[in-house]
Chains A and B, each alone.
Chain A
Amino acid sequence: MNRILSFVFASATTIGLAFNASASDFITLASTTSTENSGLFSGILPQFTSATGIQVRVVAVGTGQAFEIARRGDADSLLVHDTSGEQRFIENGFASERVDVMYNDFVLIGPADDPANVSAANSAADAFAAIADARAPFASRGDDSGTNRAELRFWKNAGIEPVGRWYRELGSGMGPTLNTAAAMDAYVISDRATWVAFKNRQNLTLLFEGDEVLFNQYGSLLLSEQKHPHLKHDLAKQWHNWLISEAGRQAIANFKVNGQQLFFPNAK
């Protein structure tokens, strides 16, 4: 009984401590699953922490939810990839400043036998039109994430409204969507980082890449001090500035998976 009590006591204190211990020297960062799943944060955060002593706690969710978390004042900083959404966020007064941090790009993934022949396409618009023409199964995130919003933009560019049994809205994150696409041999759009780190490819392979419209820009936002005075704005600012500093850019550029650079710093 004593042992049980001491375990309970230890647990209660541990949990209390986990919450209190570094109460002053950490920030909560709302970001997207694509950055987390690729392993980018495990790659660069230790460098930031050792330089500044600030821990970064990453809550990785879809871009839509990341905006929501920041809007409610539950995160100190925001790193997402939906430039127009980010600008609207500033217009609505929730953030005071946005900077370009890095980009990666979207890649079109599909079954190796490529029934829509997208690998022969000259542009992203051609590739998307080919999928729609062939009525080949396409797996869409359908979760209002940054990737999902980008995908809808690509369809629009191709002059296509994606409807029909071949177009499947999954309402899932990037990883689950790739898992589903692998299971049903569907085409799918993914950020390169998640794709390179993804392990359950089965028949899927990279079929189309390189068109400039497929670039995926990440931005860091400083949140509004007026709306949420309780946030750790000073610490968040250090993080924001580090990302676009020489050290931060180096860290991002040096992060590689399977020898491949996934994110390209482009802070101005």
Chain B
Amino acid sequence: MENNNALYVALSLVLNLDATLYQIVILSLQVSLLAVLVAAVIGFPLGAAVALWRFPGRGGAIIALNAMMGLPPVVAGLTVYMLLSRAGPLGEWGLLFTPSAMVIAQVVLVLPILAALSRQKVEELLGEYQEQFISLNMSRSRMMPTLLWDARFALLTILLAGFGRASAEVGAVMMVGGNIEGVTRVMTTAIVLETSKGDLPLALGLGIVLLTLVMLVNAGAYVVGELTKRRMG
């Protein structure tokens, strides 16, 4: 019965899309998408660089990247909190309890996933392409864009994994965002709040809305991926 109830709540939440829910949904999407984008701009070249160059401590770097994929969100949140707090080194920026702080925390969470998985994929592709690249007299830095572009379908999947982690986590955004109504309240923190109020159907209803959103983003990416794959091979 509880489930039916939650489904009903979810449906009526969507149908009577009120300004508050709309704002929460948009902020959730903006924070997570922006975080994933920033993480991709840094993480993909980073992963490719680790795949391409040999340097001392490379094995350690790979292990660290892989391990960081399992970084607990609360730990990421706590670290960013300590950095952004007035008493911390970046306190001057005054970013704590703002959406920017949430983006930063999610970048910290997502970056290792994007870097570690793209490193793996690019290295695999490099194994296949290496002789041809040397034959074409390509420098390693020239190989990077070629490899990243040719790994684009795998990277899209990796991007979605990152988005999934960003949009699903609650510990980090709760800590650095503060779950302030109208300012830093996103889907996951709203779910925690409703749960603590004991309004389980509403919490579950919000959960269903979140799940639907994530599915929509995934479906969009899948369709784009399939269409281009069919066209580009």
Contact = CB atoms under 8 A, between A and B. Distances in A.
A170 interface: no
Interface in B148-194: 178-181, 183, 193
Given A15-B100, A198-B197, 16 more contacts: A11-B33, A11-B34, A18-B27, A18-B183, A19-B95, A37-B193, A37-B196, A41-B181, A58-B181, A72-B88, A73-B87, A176-B195, A176-B196, A197-B198, A199-B198, A228-B86
Interface string A169-211: 0000111101100100000000000100111110000000000
Interface in B1-53: 27, 29-31, 33-34, 37
Contacts, number: 92
Interface residues of A, number: 39
Given A11-B30, A59-B180, A74-B86, A19 B200 contact: no
Interface in A1-35: 7-8, 11-12, 14-16, 18-19, 28, 33
A58 B189 CA distance: 14
B183 A57 contact: yes
10 contacts: A12-B34, A15-B30, A15-B34, A59-B97, A73-B86, A175-B197, A179-B195, A179-B198, A179-B200, A199-B197
B196 A8 contact: no
A52 interface: no
Contacts of A250: none
A104 B178 CA distance: 24
Given A8-B34, A175-B196, A28 B85 contact: no
A197 B100 contact: no
Interface in B90-112: 91, 95-100, 103
A37 B196 CA distance: 8
A56 B99 CA distance: 16
Contacts of B37: 8
B226 interface: no
A165 interface: no
B199 interface: yes
B71 to A, nearest CB: 21
